């Protein structure tokens, strides 16, 4: 079983809806990440939080809004999405945000479909 939990597993939403993806880890990790993965493509980084502060935003459109309420939780708020935003959204965490050998631990992902 993965130690990073993501909910929901599947989400279908219309372009006018507002929804949130949730991610939780209890490994004491201080860095958390959102990745987006389109079908048959590798994951692409969206955001990195380090000690609950947004550290990296990979020029993600503002219709995606991340939030890190505490060191264990990471949310991704969605609003006015487009059909091309349909993808697998992966949350990950790592021990420390600095460049070292600590691997990223991923959740099972949320499969998002925008209609």
Partner 1 sequence: AQKITQTQPGMFVQEKEAVTLDCTYDTSDPSYGLFWYKQPSSGEMIFLIYQGSYDQQNATEGRYSLNFQKARKSANLVISASQLGDSAMYFCAMRETVNTGFQKLVFGTGTRLLVSP
What is d(CA 4, CA 80) in angstroms, rounded to the nearest whole number?
A: 27
Q: Does 65 bind partner 1 (CB under 8 A)?
A: no
Q: Which DSSP letter does residue 2 get?
A: -
Per the CB < 8 A criterion, the answer to whether 110 and 10 are in contact is yes
Q: Does 102 bind partner 1 (CB under 8 A)?
A: yes
User: In Å, how far from its chain's centre is CA 53?
Assistant: 14
Question: Site mask, partner 1, residues 30-49, x = CB under 8 A?
Answer: -x---------xxx-x--x-
Per CB under 8 A, residues contacting partner 1 are: 2, 31, 41-43, 45, 48, 50, 55-56, 88, 90, 92, 94, 97-109, 111
């Amino acid at each position: 079983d993965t130690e990073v939990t993501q909910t929901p597993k599947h989400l279908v939403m219309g372009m006018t809806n507002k929804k949130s993806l949730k991610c939780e880890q209890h490994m004491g990790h201080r860095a958390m990440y959102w990745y987006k993965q389109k079908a048959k493509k590798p994951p692409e980084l969206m955001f990195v939080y380090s000690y609950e502060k947004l550290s990296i935003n990979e020029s993600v459109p503002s219709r995606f809004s991340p939030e890190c309420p505490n060191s264990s939780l990471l949310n991704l708020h969605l609003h006015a999405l487009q059909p091309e935003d349909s993808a697998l959204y992966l949350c990950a965490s790592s021990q420390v945000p600095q460049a070292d050998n600590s691997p990223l631990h991923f959740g099972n992902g949320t499969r998002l479909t925008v209609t």
